[in-house]
């Protein structure tokens, strides 16, 4: 579930950091409204709690055990927005201190496990447990919420890995990052998560949260308004937008050709042409005649990199001086 460094292309990593930035911001804003100064210890402790449950082996029927992510447990206890933050904190500690999941892929890992998972689980639970559910329906709702949330996260991982050969292969077809196409990653992730990891998450979620329901329901997060309201709003917006979708040109979402995907992700296949262009415009003398031969152009690269890095260090140095005085 944790994607390590090196599996995703830099563009993909950048996109997911960019997607997570507003989510983190929104989550922090929402928490500030409800928790104020209490938020720091509460977030830290709940992140620590999430980290600890990720370490547990959960026994499942048949004698085997597996690890759970705990995304839905966190969402049930803390609410989905606080779960985003505490799961992100737990994932950051795992990535930085214990090498579980990468640093460049942290944005993507947080998107899968700290955003998709708690929200999917939270809404699935509230749809099934709408109204006044009995204990059995709660248990079933939690089970399905854990199962669905885990599989949605796994599908996201499969898509992230599977698009790598499309967006980042060298001209002669050599995959540069995760090598399997979607036709392999989706069945592989689906099989392992539908059969095993989804079950672990489902059982873990149901047993932990239903236990809390029985013993101390006050510990669980209570949505202020109808928790399904945002879903209704999203549904209405979608219904309104559907006719527009029919009129719109272009391929359907997710059915892009590789050129379209390139355009959507801003990916530049051959080297980083944009940066090279920027470079040339910054240093017009870069292409001086006589620098065309291979060795000389290599020397040109080295010189321009040296000049560029010296300028940046100079700027950092000056900024450091000014900052120190200020």
Contacts of other proteins in 84-123 (CB under 8 A): 85, 89-90, 92-93, 96-99, 102-104
Smallest separation, CB 193 to other proteins (Å): 16
Q: Which of 107, 2, 10 is nearest to 51 (CA)?
A: 2
- Cα 21 from chain centroid? 10
Please give the backbone phi and psi of residue 251, each rounded to the nearest 5 degrees, phi first: -75, 160
Q: Smaller CB distance to other proteins: residue 234 or 275?
A: 275
Q: Which is nearer to other proteins, 97 or 248 (CB)?
A: 97
Segment (H or E) for 151: helix 135-162
Q: Find the shortest distance in angstroms from Cβ 72 to other proteins.
A: 13
DSSP state of 175: B
The answer to whether the beta carbons of residues 20 and 107 sit under 8 Å apart is: yes
Q: Name the residue nearer to other proteins (CB basis): 40 or 231.
A: 40
* Residue pointed to by tokens 């509460």: 42
- For the chain, how long is the longest CA-to-CA vector? 81
Candidate ranges 39-47, 115-123, 221-229, 230-238; the one touching other proteins (CB under 8 A): 39-47
| Bridging pattern class, strands 65-67 and 57-59 | antiparallel
Question: What number of chain residues touch other proteins (CB under 8 A)?
Answer: 88
Residue 18 in contact with other proteins, rule: CB under 8 A: no
Residues 263-302 close enough to bind other proteins by CB under 8 A:
271-272, 275-276, 279, 301-302
Contact between 100 and 94 under an 8 Å Cβ cutoff? The reply is yes
Considering only 231, 263, 288, 305, the residue that binds other proteins (CB under 8 A) is 305
DSSP state letter for 58: E
d(CA 200, CA 63): 12
CB of 159 to other proteins, least distance (A): 17
> Considering only residues 191-220, where is the footprint of other proteins by CB under 8 A?
203, 207-208, 210-212, 215-216, 219
Residues 175-194 that bind other proteins (CB under 8 A): 175-180, 184
Residues 6+ positions from 82 with CB-CB distance below 8 Å: 27, 31, 35, 42, 43, 46, 74, 221
Interface with other proteins includes 322 (CB under 8 A)? Answer: no
Q: Is 17 in the site for other proteins (CB under 8 A)?
A: no
Q: Give the residue, chosen from 15, 23, 43, 189, that forms a contact with other proteins under the rule CB under 8 A.
A: 43
Can you tell me whether residue 60 is helix, strand or coil? Answer: coil
User: Least CB distance from residue 1 to other proteins, whole Å?
Assistant: 13
What is the rounded distance in angstroms from the CA atom of residue 161 to the CA atom of residue 185? 7
Between 236 and 299, name the residue whose CB sits nearer to other proteins.
299
- Should residue 29 be labelled a site residue for other proteins when binding is judged by CB under 8 A? no
Between residues 18 and 52, which has the closer beta carbon with respect to other proteins?
A: 52
């Amino acid at each position: 579930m944790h994607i390590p460094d090196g599996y995703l292309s830099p563009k993909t990593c950048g996109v997911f950091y960019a997607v997570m930035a507003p989510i983190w911001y929104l989550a922090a804003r929402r928490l500030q409204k409800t928790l104020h100064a209490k938020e720091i210890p509460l977030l830290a402790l709940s992140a620590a709690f999430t980290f600890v449950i990720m370490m547990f082996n959960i026994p499942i029927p048949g004698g085997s055990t597996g690890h759970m992510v705990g995304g839905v447990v966190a969402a049930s206890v803390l609410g989905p927005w606080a779960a985003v933050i505490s799961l992100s904190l737990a994932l950051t500690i795992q990535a930085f201190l214990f090498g579980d999941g990468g640093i460049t892929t942290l944005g993507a890992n947080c998107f899968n496990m700290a955003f998709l998972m708690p929200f999917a689980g939270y809404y699935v639970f509230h749809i099934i447990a709408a109204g006044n559910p009995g204990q059995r329906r709660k248990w079933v709702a939690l089970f399905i919420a854990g199962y669905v949330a885990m599989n949605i996260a796994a599908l996201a991982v499969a898509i992230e890995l599977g698009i790598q050969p499309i967006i980042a292969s060298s001209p002669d077809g050599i995959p540069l990052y995760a090598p399997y196409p979607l036709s392999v990653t989706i069945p592989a992730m689906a099989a392992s998560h539908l059969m095993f990891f989804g079950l672990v998450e489902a059982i873990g979620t149901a047993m932990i949260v239903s236990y809390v329901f029985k013993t101390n329901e006050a510990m669980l997060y209570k949505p202020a308004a109808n928790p399904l309201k945002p879903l209704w709003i999203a549904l209405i917006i979608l219904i309104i937008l559907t006719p527009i979708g029919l009129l719109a040109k272009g391929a359907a979402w997710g059915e892009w050709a590789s050129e379209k995907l390139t355009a959507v992700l801003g990916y530049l296949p051959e080297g980083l042409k944009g940066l090279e262009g920027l470079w040339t415009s910054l240093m017009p003398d870069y292409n001086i005649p006589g620098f065309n031969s291979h060795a000389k152009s290599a020397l040109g690269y080295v010189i321009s990199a040296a000049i560029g890095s010296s300028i940046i260090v100079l700027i950092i140095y000056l900024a450091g001086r000014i900052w120190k005085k200020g």
